[in-house]
Amino acid sequence: MRPARTPAGPAVSRRTLLGGAVSAAALGGCAEKGPRVPAPLPDVAVLTAAIAAEQRLVALYEAALRAHPGLGKRLNPVLAHHREHLGALRRHYIPGTEKVTATASPAAPPEVPGKESQVLGLLRRVEGEAAGARVNDVQRVTPEMAQLLASIGACEAGHAAMLTEDEG
């Protein structure tokens, strides 16, 4: 069988085409030095920071309740919310998607003030800071993650307001 000729120039045989395709594939494979690891999504860093923040809030509320069991009626519902937030955030985390640069050491239990009014003030301040952090996080993530973080931030702002009302 004779190769077809085009008006623009000499014909290219199938053998030449196949040889070129095999060579291109082989050369393309030489450029990679192993399987490509996908870059972490921007959400990963924000998500892991939000998880760590919720873990700290849970630990702080648990310490406050240990030191001041009389605050249980006010603080137990808030602690339950933070545990729910933590669970929701963890459901979005995929292990191995973040580069680990150092091994995290276990955190010491947070210290809480001796007076109930001081504990409530501390919790109010921390809740306000957490709500502000979630507002900043929302600007750096995908819309789906932003919805979750905005919801958590709104809840934290509500906690801060509730703790203020309890003062008066």
Confidence of residue 138 (pLDDT cuts 50, 70, 90): very high
Confidence of residue 111 (pLDDT cuts 50, 70, 90): confident
Quick check: 109 pLDDT over 80? no
What band does 78 get if pLDDT is binned at 50, 70 and 90?
A: very high
Q: What is the pLDDT of residue 128?
A: 95
Q: Which tens digit of pLDDT belongs to each residue from 22-37?
A: 555 555 555 555 555 4
Lowest mean pLDDT among 41-45, 93-97, 102-106, 140-144: 102-106
Three-class HEC string of the chain:
CCCCCECCECCCCHHHHHHHHHHHHHHHHHHCCCCCCCCCCHHHHHHHHHHHHHHHHHHHHHHHHHHCHHHHHHHHHHHHHHHHHHHHHHHHCCCCCCCCCCCCCCCCCCCCCCCHHHHHHHHHHHHHHHHHHHHHHHCCCCHHHHHHHHHHHHHHHHHHHHHHHHHC
Asked if the model's pLDDT at residue 2 lies above 90, the reply is: no
What is the percentage of the chain residues whose pLDDT exceeds 70?
64
Q: Using 50, 70 and 90 to split pLDDT, how confident is the model at 62?
A: very high
pTM: 0.69
Give 92 or 33, the one with higher predicted confidence: 92
Question: Domain boundaries in the chain?
Answer: 42-167
pLDDT value of position 20: 56
- CATH class of the domain defined by 42-167: mainly alpha
Percentage of the chain beyond pLDDT 90 is: 52
State the pLDDT at residue 11: 63
